[in-house]
Amino acid sequence: MNFHFNFRLDRRQKKDSDGNVIKKTIFPIKVNLNCDDPSQRNYDFSIPKVRLPQGDFIELRCTEEDFSSAWTNRFKTNNSGHQIETTVYGHRLDIRTVLKIKEDILNEIIERPEVFSFKDVKEAFTTNNVSKRTFNGNVYAGFDSKIKELAASGRYGSASQYKSTKNMIYKYMSGLELTFYHIDVNWLDSYYRARSKSASVSTVSLDLRNLKAIYNIAKEQDDRLIIKYPFGKGKYQIPEGSASRNIGLSDESLKKIQDFKSDNYYLQTARDYFMFSYYSNGLNLKDILLLEKGQETFTRAKSRNTAKKEVKMYAEHNEHQLNIISRHKGSGKYLFNVLDDDDDDQEIYTKTKATLRRVAKQLKSLAKELDLSPELSYQWARHSYATKMVKEGVNIKDISESMGHTNIRTTESYLKSLDQEGRKKINEAKKL
């Protein structure tokens, strides 16, 4: 039996207790399944609930206009793609992307030789959502599914990391097929040794952690993989990245960067963001670009998916920071002029990444002009801040809190234990 399917809106209206029709404008999206057997009637069933980034599950629904738009330029996913708002927490959801993921799953299911009936298709589909589907043992398919899931949730940075890991594994395998059944302690060790020749321990460890995450999803669907599971105690232990070496700049080097001026806009901008980070307790560039005018609290982008509470920041800008703000002041809600008020998550990710790349490139030029280490990078601003605080005798706990470390306990208590005197001491210590 050959199956075919399409998506449709369930436009049925409900009635209230008095029998009056409750007119709806937002309708659930359903699967309409049919086959080449004329004796069989079409079969409808609901699409499994979609998981939002914060973990909540919602029913996939939209207006007639949005549904029609989703099929015009079918599954278009670029930055200008139409997006709709769900009724849950006002979360924005790209219908085209989600339906494309669901379509891929259905196409894979109806090709399975063990699927004989409408009920088989429905059962397989409703138990194989994006995060827990079978990949027929194929590692690359597992990565592809995870990448789609992350992208559909607006987690573009994480999606990019998983894509990079997949590409590295594909390159290591010279394009050959790879299944989860191939992966054992020997394979993991060989991959680690091969990748370590051209990448840092931290980078390779991240690859292996991503692979482990995909393996964990796969073994939930295939009990045979539980027996073969190669990670953990007594098996393969993913190496820990070595502790970051001290890349804090000396006071003299920091003073050189602070006093630097250039007619080259991009070079001056890179310098400005570097020093703004230093004077902002080592705040990373994405968080700086996301700062809004008058903002006093924020959640670090790095911990946005795990932080339980907003962290506290103190907008005590010195004259250097104020001068930087004046040169790059945003026209809308954002403090700086990189992001626009109506940017969605994809646009924020794209613009931030482009700015990071440009700043990284210009910092190399800055290092050359000032006779500093050619390895100078944006991360050095954060390390320089921490090093300076240690040299000035600031309490380690205060330093940790001022930098907003991702540890949950530290995040939840971010700056709460710092009294006014403690903050004053830190601000004084920052002076060059």
Most confident of 49-63, 111-125, 141-155, 236-250: 141-155
Using CA atoms, how far residue 346 sits from 78, 217, 352, 409, in Å, is 9, 26, 10, 30
Asked if the model's pLDDT at residue 422 lies above 80, the reply is no
Q: Does residue 377 surpass a pLDDT of 70?
A: yes
Mean pLDDT (whole number) for 14-33: 84
Which pLDDT belongs to residue 52? 53
- For the chain, give the percent of residues with pLDDT over 90: 23
- Cα(282)–Cα(307) distance, rounded to whole angstroms? 19
The C-alpha atoms of residue 3 and residue 307 are separated, in whole angstroms, by 45
Q: What is the pLDDT of residue 224?
A: 66
**What tokens appear for 105 in the block?**
């799953």
Whether 148 has a pLDDT exceeding 70, the answer reads: yes
* Confidence check: pLDDT of 366 > 60: yes
Residue 269: pLDDT band (50, 70, 90) is: very high
pTM: 0.48
Per-residue confidence (pLDDT) for residue 80, from 0 to 100: 43
- Whether residue 129 has pLDDT greater than 60: no
pLDDT above 70 coverage of the chain, percent: 73
Residue 365: the pLDDT is 92
| Three-state DSSP class for residue 204 | helix
Of 379, 370, 384, 347, the residue nearest 267 (C-alpha): 370
* Res. 243 pLDDT band, cuts 50 70 90: very low
More confident residue, 15 or 273: 273
Task: Calculate mean pLDDT across residues 10-34.
Answer: 84
pLDDT category of residue 423 using cuts at 50, 70 and 90: low
Structure tokens at 56: 């909540």
Task: Write the DSSP symbol of residue 302.
Answer: G
Residue from 317, 322, 342, 323 nearest 331 by CA: 342
Model pLDDT for residues 225-238, shown as the tens digit of each residue:
777 889 988 899 99
Average pLDDT over residues 198-212: 90
Q: Please tell me which of 53-62, 103-112, 324-333, 387-396 the model is most confident about, judged by mean pLDDT.
A: 324-333
* Contacts with 59 (C-beta within 8 Å, 6 or more apart), sequence order: 28, 46, 49, 50
What average pLDDT score do residues 379-389 get? 81
Q: At what angle do helices 201-221 and 156-172 cross, to 10 degrees?
A: 90
Gap between the Cα atoms of 185 and 191, Å rounded: 10
Residue with tokens 């949730």: 153
User: Could you tell me the maximum CA-CA distance found in the chain, to the nearest angstrom?
Assistant: 84
Measured between alpha carbons, how far is 321 from 328 in angstroms, rounded to an integer? 11
Candidate from 26-30, 77-81, 284-288 with smallest mean pLDDT:
77-81
* C-alpha distance from residue 344 to each of 62, 69, 159, 318, 331 (Å): 19, 18, 16, 31, 17
* pLDDT for the residue numbered 130: 37
Among 38-42, 172-176, 250-254, 304-308, the range with the most confident prediction by mean pLDDT is: 250-254
DSSP string, 343-377: --HHHHHHHHHHHHHHHHHHHHHHHHHTT--TT--
How far is Cα 141 from Cα 128, in angstroms, rounded to an integer? 14
What domains lie within the chain, and their CATH numbers? Answer: 1-96 (no CATH), 130-243 (1.10.150), 251-429 (1.10.443)
The rounded mean pLDDT for the chain is 77
CA dist 178 → 141, 187, 220, 377 (Å): 10, 11, 19, 36
Question: Which comes out higher in pLDDT, residue 215 or 129?
Answer: 215
Tell which residue, 198, 200, 195, has the closest CA to residue 169.
195
Write the single-letter amino acid at 318. N
